Amino acid sequence: MNETASLWGAFVAGLVTSAHCAGMCGLLTCGLGIAGGGGTQQTAQVAGYHSGRLASYLLLGVLAGAVGWLPVSKMTTAGNVVPWFLILFLVFIGLGLERFLPSVPGVSKLVYPLRQRFARLSGTRKGVAVGLLTPLLPCGPLWAMIGLGLLSGSPVKGAELMLVFGLGTVPLLWLMQSGAAWWQRKLSPRTIRHVQRGVAIVAAVALAWRFRGSLPFVDGPAGCGCGVAGL
């Protein structure tokens, strides 16, 4: 049950960061010609982009969980920290502070030469290639989720968190790619931000209530043996 709640929290985290993704990743992909204008080929290209992006997220989750396995396994007195870091992440988004989340310096420098190479591709191959490239963007929320994958202490748990987070970002980003003009007419950036922050706060409160008996680094009757890797 705790694991399911954490995964739902990761999905909501992806959903509420979608506005951030649509502003950064969406502009990148639309700039490379990845947009679904309704044609079969364009839709396949967008689908390829999201498939490649989710594959990258899944791989990063596996790697992060594997790297975190040994140090996290030594934290025998730790409580269930992943949900609480997820709650903190949602609070950051709810307060509009996600832009201050750090990203890995220097990674974005790899994007520009690869963009030029991928721009010469066409069709679904282009979508998949750009999707695989997406984790190289200087995206603080994405790297915060990779950190949560590391704290999970398990390649499987890390993969689950990253994949569910990625799935949460798909609907809004796909909508933006499929009709940017319609998007801008119907929903203003200010409206999107208000909805995003409201959903983030509600999700943070709901998760905090769900995990109120299992505070991190505190042995208690409800969760003294749950461990970090147990989500």
12-70 tens-digit pLDDT: 888 888 776 665 555 556 555 566 556 677 778 888 888 998 999 999 999 999 998 87
pLDDT at 78 over 60: no
140-161 tens-digit pLDDT: 788 888 888 888 888 999 999 9
Of 231, 228, 199, 230, the residue nearest 71 (C-alpha): 228
